[in-house]
Amino acid sequence: MTETMIRPAGAADADRLTELIQASGAYRGAYFAMIDGYRVTPDYLARHEVRMAVDGADDHLLGFYALIREPAELDLMFVADRAQGLGIGRQLIADMLDRARAAGIAAVKVVSHPPAERFYLRMGAERTGTRPPQPRTPWEQPELRFTV
């Protein structure tokens, strides 16, 4: 793999982002309900800041995040299974915080996939509470906040 680049996602990337979500090993078993049938659409990409990490040599998708600006929330964050442990998540979080800071955002909320909580804490987020079970997520989810 060559240098990782982080760039904006466009409408043409919607299917690639959806495929990455659907292939995520972190959402197998009990957590599959969170992503079952989920699609990233061109409309979603037009409404939110979505940035993707790609291999600079071949534009292979390594991961992405979606930042909702009002109210500020990290809505989606996925790293491809084959790119786990390579620092892609760390790069995406750093980029998200830089983009939030540039937009004048003071804090970014995260409602975490339970197994990802440790990652967000290592990246500097603080635990702020727990979201109660929802129809698609029948378990509690950690709520966290990044101070920008």
DSSP string spanning 53-77?
A: EEETTT--EEEEEEEEETTEEEEEE
The CATH number that applies at residue 40 is: 3.40.630.30
Q: What is the pTM for the complete model shown?
A: 0.94
Which tokens in the block code for residue 1?
A: 């793999």
Rounding to the nearest 10 degrees, give the CA dihedral for residues 123, 87, 7, 45: -60
**What average pLDDT score do residues 73-100 get?**
97
100-123 pLDDT tens trace: 999 999 999 999 989 999 999 999
Instruction: Note the pLDDT of residue 52.
Output: 98
Residue 108, H or E segment = strand 107-111
Q: What is the mean pLDDT of residues 120-146?
A: 93
How far is residue 102's CA from residue 37's CA, in Å, rounded to a whole number?
34
Report DSSP state, residue 36: T
Residue 135's domain comprises: 4-147
Strand partners, 61: 54
* Number of domains, the chain: 1
Q: What confidence tens digit (pLDDT) does each residue in 28-77 have?
A: 888 888 898 999 999 999 999 999 999 988 989 999 999 999 999 999 99
CB atoms near residue 63 (< 10 Å)? 23
Give the pLDDT score at 29: 85
**Given this model, what pLDDT does residue 1 score?**
54
